[in-house]
Amino acid sequence: MDRRVDRHPPLTASRLGGFAVMAVPLLFLGYFFVYPLLTVLATGFTTDGALDFGPLQTIFKRSALVNVAWFTLWQAVASTVLTLLIALPAANVMARYDFPGKRFVRAAIVVPFVLPTVVVGSAFLAVLGPTGPLRVDLRQTVWAILIAHVFFNYAIVVRTVGTYWERIDPQLLEAAQMLGGNRLAVFRKVTYPLLRPAIASAASLVFLFTFTSFGIILILGGLRHATIEVEIWRQATGLVNFEVAAALAFLQIVGISTILVLYSRYQERRAVQFTPRPAADAIRPATPLQRWHVISNLTVMAILLGGPLLILVERSFRSESGYSLAAYSSLGEPIGGLAVAPTAAMLNSVRFAVAATVLAVGIGLAAATVIAYRRGWIGRGFDALLMLPLGTSAVTLGFGFLLALDQPIDLRTSIWLIPVAHALVAMPFVVRTSVPVLRSVKHHLREAAATLGATPQQVWREVDLPMVTRAALIGAGFAFAVSLGEFGATSFLALPTNPTLPTAIFRLLGRPGTSSFTYAMALSTILMIGTAAAVIAIERLRTDTVGDF
């Protein structure tokens, strides 16, 4: 085949990635992200009606704030590298091997993702404190932060990379091994180049999450460790110092944007097209080495993820007189001071999560298509823009909504902001899981469809969609989890009281009394189980009959 042809985008691609598909995500991001963001920055940089960049200088003059910026960067890099190192072998296990309970494990690893940080933080304090099983006091150390970051982000790497890994033909690797490559060489020369887009995808998500880490740093980091995100929050809500907060927000966004642009350039260059294969034939571990590989990774999961979660479950059964089910028996009754029963709160949570997932998947797939089809700066810029909400401080965005969304319709206190804000954060997951798959789809398949009479829209529906469904559902699972866990800007909005499960948990944790605490742990346990069930259900939604893509 003529190698040079590939650099010329085929006509079908440019037609599909045209304005119509771009418009939806652009309008959504423009109105609900860019506009609020610019408004809040403009507000922060305006003194008595004139633009004033003094606060920026203030930041660089205060060594404490410079240290915060430096710490933010290096802990994010360290957390990302550590998460990759620990989670990549597990991604291989999930992609290649079959073992009892695999479907459950795949869903369960998402659980850490949804739990309110306050809840997980308390479990970590228990594990890493002087009375914990390790008998070392890691509280307020960087280690505590790094371990917690691995805990939270493990699933991102395992699932995004694992899904991609499944689709690489093992015969390819066997062939490479036949040609005399040892395992390491095969990984370096064959597997890694093919996996690189997915690894970069996962790494970028982990990086963004840890760069803007908030709750973990606050709870486990103590005074000595603060990220820009934490500092923005302290300045804006603790000290009501909007100028410094806006300057920090600006710094955060500039930093993130730079990294994102570099990333998407890299990502585009590295995209490899290969013929995907159905992701069905995982094997039972046969050799002792394979068994060891599977078992050791499952053990890591059990200790790293299961440990803290089990502590929460155990606590939900505690009572003055040994263990009891007391906390679970009153779930239908209103919690004092919350005015609704936990069951009602659960229903609210699910409603918001469904709405957010639908928004995130719909808009995210449109965006992923644009990014995958459009090479050059349009695709790149779009890619970076989409990821940006994940790297933007929740306070900034929340306050941005309040400042900007009062016209034409006053949406500032609308309940719809909840799914919108969740979708902003969840969309990158859909995009990140989908883009590598869409990019790996050979153009020939689309061209074949086009010459068989498929319009660009039909090409997308008949070729891209079936291929990307599985990846998009993985993203949808994350989106659902992100929404259930109440990430992001909603915590900084003023919204009518529609208590969700996390707010109920916060409320219970916010008052003394052992029943309150046990009750909060019971609700957390339910949130965990509900999440795992929801993720399993979402991933079963696959409709295609032949291949499992």
Question: Which one of residues 63, 182, 287, 497 is an interface residue with other proteins (CB under 8 A)?
Answer: 497
CB contact at 8 A, 93 and 296:
no
Q: Quick check: 339 binds other proteins (CB under 8 A)?
A: yes
Part in contact with other proteins (CB under 8 A); list of ranges 184-192, 237-245, 247-255, 426-434 = 237-245
Cβ closer to other proteins: 472 or 479?
472
Quote the crossing angle between the two packed helices 376-387 and 417-440, to the nearest 10°. 140
Residue 195 Cα distances to 5, 52, 190, 486, angstroms:
24, 46, 9, 31
Part in contact with other proteins (CB under 8 A); list of ranges 235-243, 285-293, 298-306, 430-438 = 235-243
Part in contact with other proteins (CB under 8 A); list of ranges 75-83, 216-224, 292-300, 380-388 = 216-224
Give, as ranges, the residues between 257 and 276 that touch other proteins (CB under 8 A): 275-276
Part in contact with other proteins (CB under 8 A); list of ranges 201-209, 348-356, 364-372, 394-402 = 394-402
* Shortest distance, position 344 Cβ to other proteins, whole Å: 13
Part in contact with other proteins (CB under 8 A); list of ranges 2-10, 292-300, 350-358, 361-369 = 2-10
Q: Is 47 helix (H, G, I), strand (E, B) or coil?
A: strand
Residue 280 Cα distances to 213, 312, 356, angstroms:
36, 35, 30
Question: Which one of residues 278, 284, 295, 533 is an interface residue with other proteins (CB under 8 A)?
Answer: 278
Give, as ranges, the residues between 408 and 437 that touch other proteins (CB under 8 A): 408-410, 412-413
Q: Quick check: 287 binds other proteins (CB under 8 A)?
A: no
d(CA 48, CA 54): 13
Contact partners, residue 345, CB within 8 Å, separation at least 6: 338, 499, 500, 501, 503, 504
Closest by Cα among 293, 353, 309 to 155: 309
Residue 184 Cα distances to 97, 176, 190, 535, angstroms:
19, 11, 10, 34
* Shortest distance, position 511 Cβ to other proteins, whole Å: 6
Question: Which one of residues 272, 302, 444, 533 is an interface residue with other proteins (CB under 8 A)?
Answer: 444
Q: Quick check: 19 binds other proteins (CB under 8 A)?
A: no
Pairing of strands 322-323, 318-319: antiparallel
Q: Is the Cα dihedral 129, 130, 134, 140 positive or negative?
A: positive
Q: Quick check: 27 binds other proteins (CB under 8 A)?
A: yes
Q: Quick check: 255 binds other proteins (CB under 8 A)?
A: no
* Shortest distance, position 124 Cβ to other proteins, whole Å: 9
Helix (H) or strand (E) holding 323: strand 322-323
Q: Is the Cα dihedral 56, 62, 63, 68 positive or negative?
A: negative
Torsion of CA 12, 13, 14, 15, to 10 degrees: 50
Q: Tell me the per-residue interface mask from 503 to 532 with other proteins, x by CB under 8 A, - otherwise.
A: x--xx-xxxxxxxxxx-xx-----------
Q: Quick check: 31 binds other proteins (CB under 8 A)?
A: yes
Q: Quick check: 42 binds other proteins (CB under 8 A)?
A: yes
